Amino acid sequence: MANKITSSSTAEYFAKNLQQVGFSSPTKAVLTTLKEAVDNSLDACEDNMILPELSIQIERLGKGGSKNSDLIQIIIEDNGPGLSAENLPRVFGEYLASSKFGRGRCSRGQQGIGISAATTWAQLTHASGVRVKSKTASMKKAVEMYIDVDIKGNKGLVKKKETLEWDKKTGLQVEFKFDGRIQLNGDGGLLTYLEGTTLVNPHLTLKYKMPDKEWVEVERVSTEVPVVPPSVLPHPHTMKLGEFVTHAGLFGRTSLKIFLKTGFSRITDHSLKLLVKNGMKKAWLNKAMTQFDDKELKQIFAFLIDADLSSPSTKSVLTVGEDSLAKSIQRLGEVDFFSVVTRKPKICDFKPTVVEVALARFIDRGEEDKSVQLLRFANRVPLQFDKSSCAITRAIESVNWKSYGLKQSKNSIPQGPYIFAVSVTSPFIKFKNASKETIDASEELVDEIRLALQKAGQKLSRHIKKEAKAEDLERKIRHIEKFGPILVNGLVSMTKASQARKKRAEDGLSKILGIDTEVAIAELEVAEEKLKSLKVKQAEKLGES
């Protein structure tokens, strides 16, 4: 476990600033607690090559202690590796905050504070922290603990401890009771979050129960556990000055030379020579990091920014994959048609990044005249708030969806019964703010997302075009039946023509218009043919052929 600094003020800081980490309202508190626990379970399973099986139960127990809130109970259980008894208080009762810069991995958890914040919230609103039950492979019986955060000392306080039978090989179960409010649908809704999580985790089997609702079970559609590549060190060009200074602070008495070579990727002896050649004092290389003042750190940072370093490697990113996405999207409803695109990893703003897109039209959800439902993901974590300034939203708005046959008013989200899911994966995702809800909309990233969307849009348009052609044919047939007789009758009446002429004209007209419909039918057939070959490819993805 990453645990480089554990300052006693950390817990105090977070206890006072819980809104910064997602506990800014009763509604968000429920979502954040759920999200922190689910993210952890999924990460733990992935790290141990376990196919995750999660069960989530949310109940409303009564009125909450604060205004406009209910007393909520959340129980989340996984089949992950479990945690040992001595680790439980540390994970659930201690803020483990390591480098603010994250871990350099595409894991969901990045900071080591998530779940302890949930404990703190429960403690502050309901006077008791978390109940955890855990069983690791080496334990015969499960251990159950009630843990609080010791806010002054930033330590986990074990209130009660028991061992008990649990008919599970390994796993972990957490229960929180706290003040919250339940919102199921829409942006920030619990079901919206679970749907998003389902979509980008094809290997997940999920059972959940919402208050006053039946249990729902969603089966996995893939039996492959995604392999999260090992962490990579940050690339100097991805950093801001502030991040660089914090990063430096973690290295204490190490020399600058060692700090640069072990704290970053792509810094070699050759690069160090380059720094000196560009004017950095050679003596600095052996000076301890603690001996640099801010001004000097700033200078070092400037030399690094100017240095010609090779781009970071793209090996550290992982993808869900087109095949799995194609299967997974079928779990969200009855799909009419869809298209998925996984781009190759690319360096955006010096960070290895991969963009994946799934667009699907549904039969049983969404509306023609409403905006499409947008699902955004950063490292496979659904983003729920502040969508307007997010790189993903920007990219969607910048595409001309009309050219793919969708409805859209200029520079806005298109309309129709669709889900647009866009996932950005990178070991160093840059968020706009601390609550990690919006991806910073840098030009390079927006461009990359746009390319993925356009490719998906092209595939989608084959379906839409076929539909349009079918509609066209129907309209043509209707047109002929409706207007043909009126035209002939009008002409006959104007010319006072005989019935025989009328009959001949009618025959002539149906012959002409018949040719037109034949053309329309042929066009429809071509469109259907094209679509068929696309569907064959998609079926292969779904493993149906």
Partner 1 sequence: MARTSKSSRKSVQSKAEEICQYMLSTLEKGQRPILEAVRCNLDNSIYDPSVGYFVPGDKVVKSELNVSSVQKLARTVFMLEILLNNINTGATNTKRELYYMAKGLVKSDPSLKPIDFDGQPESDSVIEFITDMLEVYREELNCFADDRGGQSYSQNLIVTETMNDGEKATIDLSKLGTAPFQPKNQPTALKLKAKGKIDFCLIVESQGTANTLVTRGFTKRNNCILMGAKGVPSNGVRGWCKLIQDQLKIPMYFFGDLDAYTMQNIFRTLKAGSAASLIRNKDFSAPDVKFLGILPEDIKEYDLNSYKVKEKDASEVRALKKARDVLSNDPFFKDKKNKKLAAILNFLVKNKIRCEQQALFSVNPKDPLMPEKIILDKIKNKVFI
Ligand X SMILES: Nc1ncnc2c1ncn2[C@@H]1O[C@H](COP(=O)(O)OP(=O)(O)OP(=O)(O)O)[C@@H](O)[C@H]1O
For residue 466, give Cα distances in angstroms to 65, 97, 461: 57, 54, 8
242 lies in the binding site for partner 1 (CB under 8 A): no
Alpha helices in 265-361 (DSSP H): 269-277, 294-306, 322-329
Selected range binding partner 1 among 298-306, 443-451, 510-518, 521-529, rule: CB under 8 A: 510-518
Residue 530 is which amino acid? K
Among 49-57, 78-86, 390-398, 537-545, which window interacts with ligand X (CB under 6 A)? 78-86
Specify the residue for token string 């999207």. 329
Q: Which is nearer to ligand X, 436 or 465 (CB)?
A: 436
Q: Pick one of 487, 522, 536, 539: the residue that binds partner 1 (CB under 8 A).
A: 487
Q: Which is nearer to partner 1, 60 or 476 (CB)?
A: 476
Which element (helix H / strand E) includes 495? helix 443-495
- Sheet of 53-63: strand order equals 155-164, 142-150, 130-135, 171-180, 70-78, 53-63, 205-209, 215-218
Position among 14, 22, 29, 36 found at the interface with ligand X (CB under 6 A)? 36
- Strands, E assignment, 91-227: 130-135, 142-150, 155-164, 171-180, 205-209, 215-218
Torsions phi, psi for 145 (to 5 deg)? -135, 150
Question: What are the tokens at 210?
Answer: 């919402």
Q: Is 230 in the site for partner 1 (CB under 8 A)?
A: no
| Candidates 40-48, 54-62, 409-417, 515-523; binding stretch for partner 1 (CB under 8 A) | 515-523
Does the protein bind partner 1 through residue 468 (CB under 8 A)?
no
CB of 129: closest distance to ligand X in angstroms? 13
80 binds, among Mg ion, partner 1, ligand X, none (CB under 5 to 8 A by kind): ligand X
Binding mask 12-41 for Mg ion (x = CB under 5 A): ----------------------------x-
Is 244 buried (19+), middle (13-18) or exposed (0-12) by CB count in 10 A?
buried
Among 287, 343, 476, 541, binds partner 1 (CB under 8 A): 476
Percent of residues in the chain assigned helix, strand, coil, to nearest 5: 45, 20, 35
Is the Cβ of residue 114 or residue 156 nearer to Mg ion in the bound state?
Answer: 114
Could you say which of 367, 471, 474, 507 contacts partner 1 (CB under 8 A)? Answer: 507
Give the span between the Cα atoms of 31 and 29, in whole angstroms. Answer: 5
Among 82, 93, 109, 352, binds Mg ion (CB under 5 A): 109
Q: Rule CB under 5 A: which of 37-96 touch Mg ion?
A: 40
Nearer to partner 1 by Cβ, of 249 and 484: the residue is 484
* Residue 522 binds partner 1, judged by CB under 8 A: no
Binding-site partner at residue 44 among partner 1, ligand X, Mg ion, none, CB < 5 to 8 Å by type: ligand X
Residue nearest ligand X, Cβ-based: 109
427 sits near ligand X (criterion: CB under 6 A): no
Provide, rounded to whole angstroms, the least separation between the CB of residue 472 and partner 1.
9
Closest approach of Cβ 520 to partner 1, in Å?
A: 8
**Site size toward partner 1, by CB under 8 A:** 30
* 109 is a contact residue toward ligand X (CB under 6 A): yes
Q: Is 302 in the site for partner 1 (CB under 8 A)?
A: no
Stretch touching partner 1 by CB under 8 A, among 80-88, 272-280, 363-371, 496-504: 496-504
HEC secondary structure over 54-116: EEEEEEEEEECCCCCCEEEEEEEEECCCCCCCCHHHHHHHCCCCCCCCCCCCCCCCCCCCHHH
Buried b (16+ CB within 10 A) or exposed e, 444-456: ebbebbbbbbbbb
CA gap 299, 378 in Å, rounded: 33
Helical packing angle, 241-249 and 256-263, nearest 10°:
110
One residue of 80, 81, 114, 417 binding Mg ion per CB under 5 A: 114
Could you say whether residue 484 binds partner 1 (CB under 8 A)?
yes
521 binds, among Mg ion, ligand X, partner 1, none (CB under 5 to 8 A by kind): none
112 lies in the binding site for ligand X (CB under 6 A): yes
CB 179 within 8 A of CB 69: yes
Nearest residue to 214 (alpha-carbon basis) of 332, 92, 57:
57
Q: Which of residues 186-205 bind partner 1 (CB under 8 A)?
A: none
- Residue from 539, 354, 341 nearest 456 by CA: 341
Other C-beta atoms closer than 10 Å to the C-beta of 5 total 12
CA separation, residue 136 to residues 93, 164, 343 (Å): 19, 13, 38
DSSP 240: -
Task: Catalog residues that contact ligand X under the rule CB under 6 A.
Answer: 1, 36, 39-41, 44, 78, 80-81, 83, 91, 96, 109-116, 172
Task: Catalog residues that contact partner 1 under the rule CB under 8 A.
Answer: 476, 479-480, 482-495, 497, 501, 504-505, 507-509, 511-513, 516-517, 520
Task: Catalog residues that contact Mg ion under the rule CB under 5 A.
Answer: 40, 109, 114
